[in-house]
Every structure is written in structure tokens, then in C-alpha cells.
Amino acid sequence: MQEREEGRRGIGDAWLLVKAVWRTIRGEDGRGRKVRWMLGLLRPYRARVTWMLVALVIATAAALAPPYLAGLAIDKGIGTDPPASSDLNALTLIVVAFLASALIFWVATYVQTYLVGWVGQRTLQNLRERIYTHLQSMSLGFYTRNRPGVLISRMTNDVQALDTLVTDGIVTMVSSVLTLVGVVVILLAIDVQLALVTFLTFPILAIGSIVFRIASANAYRLTREKIANITAYLQESLSGVRVVRSFGQEPRHLTEMSVLNEENREVNMRTVYLNASYFPAVELLSAVGTAAILLFGGYQAINGEIEIGILFAFVGYLQTFFDPIQQISQLYTTYQQGMAALDKIFDLLDTEPDLVDPPDAIDPGEIRGSIDLEDVWFGYGSDPEGDGWALRGIGLDILPGQTVALVGETGAGKSTLAKLVARFYDPQRGRIL
């Protein structure tokens, strides 16, 4: 019962995507700044992006022409009572226009696809370089607190998810909206009554989205976290494979990896339920809409109120009407995955380095070679008072050319002191000159 309910929730994905995007645009979910930053990555390529949008509009317009031309061919070319009502010249012109629209669609789609790929790869390259540059600026303490595998996942899995959102997601969203608006305008222009019958399916989608609305942002965030955990564990276990083999810990690591894989599967199954049932639901609505059009439109055609070609065009546009809704609903998954990845990347980029020179920092000038530690206190944790200090009130003067040996038991702070002198870390109290 629970799985059935989870699956049925996919019906409202399209409406949920629209609401989620609207909240993002208004900044209600705190992602407006992040989205603007993400779109800023495209700014250096705005000329190509503009041409890509032009090609997308042309391709969409060309894709909307065939059903109308087919209906026109039936009414004006073939006629309702051939050969008496047939017009070969009109039919030839319509067929030429049909082929021309197909050629225009092919050329425009080629240009749009090439430009999307070009801009996407450039953006992906720049984003990875920006993240890597930021990682290079972080202090050693940052790498102590963060697992290397998680950082690798930010550079690979999360960047790829964001690239999918920026390229495929945005393009599909714009194309689907243009197609949907174009179909609505064409249907209203052809026959208002038949168009209103077609639009009766909208309330069903709206009710489904209200009843079965989902808050899947957390689920998609969890998928990013789980795959990052797997990447981190894999990196750590492989880098320490000699130790694992030496102590015979293979069974324990296999068990741990199985647990991580199972957690990843469970989290991803939550998203699978959303997609598994949506396509049958849309097909059902499409079948209901087609039946309504055939019944109502057929009645009008029998009574001579509309021509058969109009009814044929409506049936052709009906699938085109539902395809954008289906594609937008699929984008809800891409949107949530991409935004979850964007959150993770921003968490990384918003992390400030531990070692930051104060505004009043002065040039050290000529290095004398002396080291002065004045009442130095240092702890590795974020709360040294609770986690314990590694060094307490250390004072030490080392003169130029002087050799000093640090002697003490394990954990006394010898390595910590050397790291502070090299400024891998800054002390919480005191200063080092």
C-alpha cells in the first residue's frame, strides 16, 4: 500500500516543478543567490546562449507545423469526397511545406544541440577549476575535518548533476514551455470548443499535485550524500589496502560497503517511485483526452460544424500537448538532483579558509630566522574547551641558528607545534612571530 501511494505521487511532479522554480526565483527557499551565481557561469558565453535560444525557438515552431499541415492536406488537398473535391496543386504545396518544416527542424536542432554541448562543457570546465582553486586555498585543518572522498564527489558527481541541470534541464524546460504555449495558441485558433475539451485534463493534474504533493528535496539531497559516502569510503579503503590486508579486515570492509550500498539503494528507491508511475498516468490522461476529442469532435464533424482535417489535427496535437507536461515532470527529478548538488557545492565554496591574514597585516620584511611563541593555545576541534587543548600556554624563543629539540611522549604536541610554526594552522590564543 505504501509503495502504491509513493508511486501515485508522481502525477503532480509537473506542478511541483513549477512551484519549486517559482520559489527559487522569488528566493523563498534561499536558493535565489545560488541560481543567479550558477547562471552567472554562462555569462561569458551569452552570445552562444542567445543563438542557442533562437535555434530552440525555430526548432519548436518547426516541430509544431506537421499536425496542422496534415489536417490542411486532408481538407484542402485530398478533400472529403475525392477526386471531385481534391486539389493536387494545394496538396503538393502542403507536402513541400511539410518537408521544409522537417528540414528547418533538423538544422535548428543541430545548431541548438551543438551550442548546448559547447557551452555545457565550457561551463563544466570552469566550475571544476573554480572548485579546485578554492580547495587549494583551504588550510590543512579543512582537510582534517573533511573526508577526501567527499571532496572528490563534489568535483565529480555533484558537478555532473549540476551540468545536467544547466544544459539538459534548462533547455528541456524552455523547449517544453514554448511547445506547450504554442500548442495552446494553435488549438484555440483552430477551434475554441475542442480546445476547451482538451484543457479539461488540467484540473486532474492540479488535483493530483495537491493531493499527492511531495517534499522530495530531502530525498534527492540524501542521494547526493549517500553516493558521496560511498566515494569517500572507497577512496579510504583503497588507499589503505595494505593495512586492510595486513590485519585481515577484508570481511569488515565488505560488510561496511554493503551497508553503504543498501542505504544508497533505499534512498534512490524513493525517487524511483516518483518516476515509475508517472508515465502510465500521463498515458491514461492522454487516452482520456483523445477519447473526448474523438467523441465531441466526431459529433461536430458529423453535423458539419467542423472539417475532418481539423479533427485530425487536434488528435495529432493532443500528444504534442501532453509530451511537454511529461517532460517537465521528468525535469522535477533533474531539478531536485541539480539543486541538491548546487547546495553541496555552495557549502564547499562558502567555507572560508582558516588561515586569513587580518586587514592590518604587515609585510614581514627581511626574515631574521627567529621564532617567538607567545602564550600559544591550540586545539584541533571546533570547540577546544570541550574537545581538549593540544597545546596550553606555550612560550618559546628560538634564536637564529639555534637548534632546538622537542622531546615528549606520544600526544604531547610535538608535531602540532611544528605544524603551527609552518602555519598549517593558526593558534586560537596567543601568537607566533
DSSP 45-67: GHHHHHHHHHHHHHHHHHHHHHH
For residues 63 and 112, give the distance between their C-alpha atoms in angstroms, rounded to a whole number: 14
What 8-state DSSP symbol labels residue 353?
P
Neighbours of 316 (CB within 10 A): 16
pLDDT higher for 88 or 30?
Answer: 88
| pLDDT for res 433 | 73
pLDDT mean over 173-191 = 86
Which residues share a beta bridge with 376? Answer: 394
Residue pair 17/332 in contact by the 8 Å Cβ criterion: yes
Those residues with Cβ within 8 angstroms of residue 345's Cβ, 6 or more apart along the chain or in another chain: 127, 131, 154, 158, 159, 162
| pLDDT for res 7 | 39
For the record, the C-alpha cell of 178 comes out as 514554448
Return the ∠ at Cα 13 (arms to 296 and 114), rounded to 5°. Answer: 95
pLDDT higher for 99 or 408?
Answer: 99
Exposed/middle/buried for 9, CB within 10 Å: 0-12, 13-18, 19+?
A: buried
Domain ranges of the chain: 2-349, 371-432
For the segment 313-367, what is each residue's pLDDT rounded down to a tens digit?
A: 888 887 777 777 767 766 766 777 788 788 888 888 888 776 666 666 666 666 6
Which H, E and C letters describe 158-208, residue by residue? HHHHHHHHHHHHHHHHHHHHHHHHHHHHHHHHHCHHHHHHHCCHHHHHHHH
Neighbours of 134 (CB within 10 A): 15
Exposed/middle/buried for 317, CB within 10 Å: 0-12, 13-18, 19+?
A: buried
Amino acid at the residue 374: E
Please state whether the predicted TM-score (pTM) of the whole model is above 0.85.
Answer: no
Residues 247, 248, 250, 255, CA torsion sign = negative
| pLDDT for res 55 | 93
Q: To 10 degrees, what angle do helices 46-72 and 170-190 make?
A: 30
Exposed/middle/buried for 263, CB within 10 Å: 0-12, 13-18, 19+?
A: middle
Whether 99 shows a pLDDT value over 50: the answer reads yes
Those residues with Cβ within 8 angstroms of residue 192's Cβ, 6 or more apart along the chain or in another chain: none
pLDDT mean over 35-54 = 85
Whether 403 shows a pLDDT value over 70: the answer reads yes
Using the structure block, give the residue that is written with the C-alpha cell 593558534: 427
pLDDT mean over 393-404 = 79
Residue pair 6/269 in contact by the 8 Å Cβ criterion: no
pLDDT level of residue 79 (50, 70, 90 thresholds):
low
Residue pair 59/112 in contact by the 8 Å Cβ criterion: yes
pLDDT level of residue 108 (50, 70, 90 thresholds):
very high
Whether 9 shows a pLDDT value over 50: the answer reads no
Whether 230 shows a pLDDT value over 80: the answer reads yes
| pLDDT for res 159 | 85
Return the ∠ at Cα 9 (arms to 210 and 176), rounded to 5°. Answer: 80
Residues 125, 127, 131, 134, CA torsion sign = positive
CATH number for the domain formed by residue range(s) 2-349: 1.20.1560.10
Highest mean pLDDT, choosing among 24-28, 151-155, 210-214: 151-155
| pLDDT for res 8 | 42
For residues 28 and 271, give the distance between their C-alpha atoms in angstroms, rounded to a whole number: 24
Q: Distance from CA of residue 333 to its chain's centroid? A: 8
For the record, the C-alpha cell of 238 comes out as 583503497
